[in-house]
């Protein structure tokens, strides 16, 4: 995954995203309407608006090519929804974050102050149960809030499959733009590059 600065410039942020666990919930569009950044519109899959709770491992993180000691590998859990913005004939499908949890205070502070991203630092941990061939089978991300551990977990079976064009999984995962509302009401747009992921359908899931 990379967050490029602009055409011809090197990426601001590069990292590996590993073991993504994604729980997706249909939601009344009117709940999200006040959160839609200026210049974008709510995106839907087959007429349904979604929010997603996503947990994953941020690995080998580099800022402008530099690895920051103690801040290269960490967990993140976020709550997000989906928008699109029209740029001429192009329709840019993107993500808006409602909340992003990380265990590093410096990361949360920088993201809030410099980019107005809704980060919050909390104690976090994860556990991953793997099959004999090394594939993840049970993935769990936890964060400590108000004196107790909350969690997101999924269990998968079988083998991962490529994304099917037009599927719900493709709608959830294939976004290459991010949008953030600024304090003055304007919108920041940034581009995200990542390969097309293989996906499992969860056999079971939990969210506390």
pLDDT tens profile 122-150:
999 999 999 988 889 999 999 999 999 99
Asked if 35 and 98 count as a contact pair (C-beta separation under 8 A), the reply is: yes
pLDDT at res. 109: 85
Percent of the chain with pLDDT over 90: 63
Among 30-44, 86-100, 101-115, the minimum mean pLDDT is found in: 101-115
| 3-state helix vs strand vs coil in the chain, percent to 5 | 10, 55, 30
Q: Which residues pair with 4 in a beta bridge?
A: 11
pLDDT-derived band at 20 (thresholds 50, 70, 90) equals very high
Measured distance CA(19)–CA(110) in Å, rounded: 25
Range 163-173 burial, b when 16+ CB lie within 10 A, else e: beeeeebbbbb
Tell me the average pLDDT across 34-45. 96
* Amino acid 69: pLDDT: 66
Q: What is the pLDDT of residue 5?
A: 45
**Band (6; pLDDT cuts 50, 70, 90):** very low
CB 8 within 8 A of CB 125: no
Please say if the pLDDT value at position 1 is more than 60: no
Residues 63/114/112/178 CA torsion (nearest 10 deg): -70
Residue 94 has pLDDT above 70, yes or no: yes
- The predicted model scores a pTM of 0.88
Strands 11-27, 124-130: pairing kind: unpaired
To which residue do tokens 């004196």 refer? 147
The reported pLDDT for the residue numbered 4 is 44
Provide the pLDDT for residue 8.
52
């Amino acid at each position: 995954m990379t967050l490029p600065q602009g055409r011809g410039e090197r990426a601001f942020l590069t990292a590996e995203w590993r073991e993504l666990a994604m729980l997706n919930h249909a939601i009344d569009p009117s709940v999200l309407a006040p959160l839609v950044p200026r210049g974008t519109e709510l995106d839907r899959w087959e007429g349904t608006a979604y929010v997603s709770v996503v947990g994953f491992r941020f690995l080998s993180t580099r800022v402008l090519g530099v690895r920051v000691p103690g801040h290269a590998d960490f967990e993140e859990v976020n709550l997000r929804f989906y928008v699109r913005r029209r740029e001429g004939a192009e329709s840019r499908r993107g993500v808006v974050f409602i909340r992003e949890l990380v265990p590093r205070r410096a990361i949360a502070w920088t993201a809030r102050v410099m980019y107005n991203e809704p980060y919050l630092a909390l104690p976090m941990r994860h556990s991953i149960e793997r099959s004999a061939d090394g594939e993840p089978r049970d993935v769990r991300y936890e964060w400590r809030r108000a004196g107790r551990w909350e969690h997101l977990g999924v269990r998968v079976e079988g083998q991962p499959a490529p994304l099917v064009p037009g599927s719900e999984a493709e709608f959830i995962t294939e976004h290459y733009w991010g949008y953030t509302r600024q304090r003055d009401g304007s919108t920041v747009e940034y581009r995200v590059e990542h390969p097309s992921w293989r996906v499992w359908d969860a056999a079971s899931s939990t969210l506390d």
